[in-house]
Structure 1
């Protein structure tokens, strides 16, 4: 799976640039509460890296129906945000979660 991350990220970036990336249910509400807008999400995807991935059914404590990638990147202000993206079977991408910062667990993975 990790072997395909660079291809997946390039495809996600292409979809961001063409306005084809989608927000999952309730993500826009959570983003507003966290002070993150769609341009921050787009910037993080365009400048960030996939740091973690789970295939179908591999997400801890949750049976994810789609492959899932975690992207860490910078928002428009240069602050780090984390973006969770589901890869749907039709080739579309859904942002399922976004939060400010990088968790300690992910910091260990990316070496921050």
Structure 2
């Protein structure tokens, strides 16, 4: 479902397809594992290849953000397509998440 790229300071997770009720728990586990096991200071979720996002996928991202904050780590999203970005805007979560236009962060 996704690729994980590690560098000493940044971990990048690249989910593909849909983040929905069918796979949100697995996605959340992957995010939690990346935050718990890695000592990198930043976790970036690259949403470039995500085609759809429902409330379960959104909840997985919010849960990971809360965990990252509790661990004192940075949590960011990048490469969010316009169709996915509108979900963040409608829920006003675009004000909560750090969102980058491309992959310039890494």
Would the TM-score normalized by the shorter structure come out above 0.5? Answer: no
TM-score normalised by the chain length of structure 1: 0.29
TM-score normalised by the chain length of structure 2: 0.30
